[in-house]
Homo-oligomer: A and B are copies of this chain.
Amino acid sequence: MAETTPPLFRRAALIGIGLIGSSMALAMRRAGLAGEIVCAARSAATRATALRLGLVDAAFAEAAEAVRGADLIVLATPIGAFGAIAAEIGPVVEAGAIVTDVGSVKAMVLRDVGPHLPLNVHLVPGHPVAGTEHSGPESGFAELFENRWCILTPPEDADERAVDKVVALWAAMGAKVERMTAQHHDLVLAITSHVPHLIAYNIVGTASDLEAVTQSEVIKYSAGGFRDFTRIAASDPTMWRDIFLNNKEAVLEMLGRFVEDLTALQRAIRWGEGDTLFDLFTRTRAIRRSIVDAGQETQAPDFGRRAPGE
């Protein structure tokens, strides 16, 4: 039976083939979701890698070439490039095709991509909340999206059949799918992802600029907590620059809250208010438990860096 069922998409075009694009290629192949998978990548080395790893059937330098004949187009570059790519593919994208993306900010997709697409092309923005600190086509793996959430933010007047197909795509790659407005997405991700990255980048920067403590000491004694921040602060610089520039309002709002709370904590330390500290530290422990219970985290101590008794 399976052999006679046509794949969900005839031809999928991945514009950009980094960690997310290559993981999608592998996950789509595994589930037989597309008859053909092609990609566009500016760098010849990236195109060669994508072909060598068997991620795609063909690789193009220009997005406009890759989207010809595609009924699914996935924007998977840093989000700052979305506007230019949309302008490039708008004139050649096939009628009825679905354009989606995997960017970490969503309101800007409607703003930067939407205006360039013909009316008979369906824009269904999406964001798989999954990743590692590694980048590039060699870091992808088919299981990246399993048991992770993918958030779709279609505009109010979206074609529901197109939305259903994108839901089916992500579900077939193992993800759980949620739908919300782009504005709400950007607020939720500002606190669960963007501000955490910002403060991780910030403390790693602060630590490396000290005079009284050497960089070699910071590295030697990083197991006390600091090293966990460096993982986050090792994420792709271009991707993260674009996120902060394109989710400015929500990030600044959440950062304002964070700093307000931090100031209260600073004051509690200065005045020796042990109960205030103890109460917060007890409350935060419960949230960790909820995340482990929700299957979004492993309970292995120390992230399984070293298993007890092994």
Q: Which residues of A are in contact with B by a Cβ distance under 8 Å? A: 104, 129-134, 139-144, 148-149, 151, 178, 187-189, 191-210, 212-213, 215, 217-235, 237-238, 240-241, 244-245, 248, 251-252, 254-255, 257-259, 261-262, 265-266, 269-270, 272, 274, 277-278, 280-285, 287-291, 294, 296-298, 301-306, 308-310
**Smallest distance from the beta carbon of A130 to chain B beta carbons, Å?**
6
User: Can you show 15 pairs from A to B with CB atoms below 8 A apart?
Assistant: A143-B309, A192-B222, A193-B224, A198-B262, A199-B262, A200-B284, A202-B280, A215-B290, A231-B288, A233-B287, A234-B285, A241-B274, A245-B269, A245-B272, A304-B305
Interface of A is mostly: helix
Tell whether A296 pairs with B188 under 8 Å between CB atoms, given A278-B241, A284-B204: no
**Chain B minimum-CB-distance residue to A23:** B308
Q: Which 3 A-B pairs have the closest CB atoms?
A: A193-B224, A303-B303, A132-B301
Residues in chain B near residue A231, CB distance under 8 A: 228, 288, 297, 303
Is A252 a contact partner of B269 (Cβ separation < 8 A)? yes
Given contact pairs A133-B302, A202-B280, A205-B284, enumerate 19 new A-B contacts (beta carbons under 8 Å). A104-B224, A131-B224, A141-B310, A143-B309, A178-B220, A193-B221, A198-B269, A199-B199, A199-B203, A205-B283, A215-B287, A215-B290, A219-B294, A230-B284, A233-B281, A234-B284, A241-B274, A303-B303, A304-B304
**Smallest distance from the beta carbon of A97 to chain B beta carbons, Å?**
29
Residues in chain B near residue A132, CB distance under 8 A: 301-302, 308
Is A143 a contact partner of B310 (Cβ separation < 8 A)? yes
**Chain B minimum-CB-distance residue to A225:** B196
Residues in chain B near residue A205, CB distance under 8 A: 261, 280, 283-284
Residues in chain B near residue A203, CB distance under 8 A: 191, 195-196, 199, 258
Bound CA span A144–B212, Å: 29
Is A278 a contact partner of B191 (Cβ separation < 8 A)? no
Residues in chain B near residue A188, CB distance under 8 A: 213, 217-218, 221
Residues in chain B near residue A104, CB distance under 8 A: 224
Tell whether A244 pairs with B269 under 8 Å between CB atoms, given A208-B283, A222-B192, A296-B222: yes
